[in-house]
């Protein structure tokens, strides 16, 4: 019996975070915003795939193994004979990082190699982060988003602002993705980076105007999140936990939100916000980008 195709497909980048340690050494950790989002969806019980390409070396091996461990559909992960995409994190506070990946594996992702019928089976398809600014991958993903939206699929978008997005041309990508989106997650830091001449309220209003059909989630770290749909506004405080690390909390919120959309909370914005907040809170209790398990999230919500 063949395995059903996933309901939630996440396109984008998987990479290795090279994190500088206190002694000056570097620690390599599997990561990437879109890949993190996909792992969260899978660990929360949604049939999920990460659609992207990774290298055939030890870095790609680690990403492939961690993908399998999370329960992601292996048919969507492509292995190519190219160098790995690396993110060197020189400092987390304040954030200082740079990417190394000229002609790296992620750029050679080929949508034509995805399983037949995947788009018909998918219900929510996610895009975002640096994959939408790294060419030629960005153009391919914009095309995939257009095809999916035309097919009536719901598009989820998390820009996840990085300095790379100051490049000419990204403004057109941003406008394109917002126009297609059914769900947009954006942080206060994203708004400041994407719309540097606007205050947060004006920037949020700009996003809502550019994404007229979308439900928008604004995340504010320890200050909680707001879910907005038309005239409906749902406020969700951050849940109190012992914080080890905030890396990946935004990705956990995104994956948690879509897990809510694709489960019993489909029509309940408050329930979606609670699940997103709980996923982010559990992620914060672990060092690195931790994808929370469904049982952990339910236990926190029950408490």
Q: Is 154 inside a domain boundary?
A: yes
Range of the domain at 189: 8-302
Q: Tell the residue number behind the tokens 């109190």, with chain if given.
A: 240
Residue 1 domain-assigned?
A: no
Q: What's the pLDDT at 29?
A: 87
pLDDT of residue 95: 64
Q: Is there a domain that residue 69 lies in?
A: yes
Q: Please report which helix (H) or strand (E) contains residue 278, including its range.
A: helix 269-284
Q: What is the pLDDT of residues 240-281, one digit of tens each?
A: 777 767 677 789 999 999 999 998 767 789 999 999 999 988
Check residues 16 and 297 and name the one with the higher pLDDT. Answer: 16
Instruction: State pLDDT tens for residues 74-83.
Output: 999 999 999 9
Contact status, residue 13 vs residue 29, Cβ threshold 8 Å:
no
- The per-residue pLDDT for range 199-209, each reduced to its tens digit, is 999 999 999 99
Residue 209 within a domain? yes
Report the share of the chain in percent with pLDDT over 90: 70
Q: What is the pLDDT of residues 111-132, one digit of tens each?
A: 999 999 999 999 999 999 999 9
pLDDT in tens, 142-175: 999 999 999 999 999 999 999 889 988 999 999 9
Paired tokens of 189: 């830091």
Strands (E), 93-129: 95-100, 124-128
Percent above pLDDT 70 for the chain: 96
The pLDDT of residue 197 is 95
CA distance linking residue 204 with residue 187, whole number of Å? 10
Kindly list the distances between the CA atom of residue 74 and the CA atoms of 5, 28, 68, 77, 249, in Å, as whole numbers in the listed order: 11, 22, 7, 6, 24
CATH number assigned to the domain comprising residue 230: 3.40.1190.20
Domain count along the chain: 1
Query: How far is 269 from 137, CA to CA, in rounded Å?
Result: 33
The answer to the question of residue 3 being in a domain is: no
pTM of the model: 0.94
A 10 A CB-CB count for 157 gives: 27
Query: Is 160 within the bounds of a domain?
Result: yes
Helix extents (H) in 185-248 = 188-194, 200-210
């Amino acid at each position: 019996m063949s395995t059903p195709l996933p309901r939630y497909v996440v396109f984008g980048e998987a990479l290795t975070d090279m994190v500088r340690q206190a002694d000056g050494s570097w620690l390599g950790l599997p990561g990437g915003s879109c890949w993190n989002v996909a792992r969260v969806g899978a660990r929360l019980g949604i049939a999920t795939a990460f659609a992207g390409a990774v290298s055939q070396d030890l870095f790609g091996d680690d990403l492939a193994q961690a993908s399998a461990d999370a329960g992601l559909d292996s048919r969507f992960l492509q292995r190519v004979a190219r160098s790995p995409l690396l993110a060197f994190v020189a400092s987390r506070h304040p954030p200082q990082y740079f990417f190394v990946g000229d002609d790296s594996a992620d750029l050679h992702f080929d949508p034509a190699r995805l399983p037949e019928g995947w788009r018909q089976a998918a219900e929510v398809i996610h895009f975002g982060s640096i994959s939408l600014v790294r060419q030629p991958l960005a153009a391919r993903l914009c095309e995939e988003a257009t095809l999916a939206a035309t097919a009536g699929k719901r598009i989820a978008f998390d820009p996840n602002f990085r300095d790379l997005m100051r490049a000419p041309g990204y403004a057109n990508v941003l406008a394109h993705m917002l126009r297609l989106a059914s769900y947009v997650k954006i942080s206060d830091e994203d708004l400041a980076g994407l719309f540097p001449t606007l205050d947060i309220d004006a920037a949020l209003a700009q996003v809502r105007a550019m994404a007229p059909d979308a439900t928008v989630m604004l995340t504010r770290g320890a200050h909680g999140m707001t879910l907005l749909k038309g005239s409906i506004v749902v406020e969700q405080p951050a849940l109190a936990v012992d914080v080890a690390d905030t890396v990946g909390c935004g990705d956990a919120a995104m994956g948690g939100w879509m897990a809510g959309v694709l489960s019993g909370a489909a029509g309940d914005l408050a329930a979606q916000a609670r699940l997103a907040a709980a996923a982010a809170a559990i992620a914060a209790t672990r060092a690195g980008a931790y994808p929370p398990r469904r049982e952990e999230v339910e236990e926190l919500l029950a408490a």
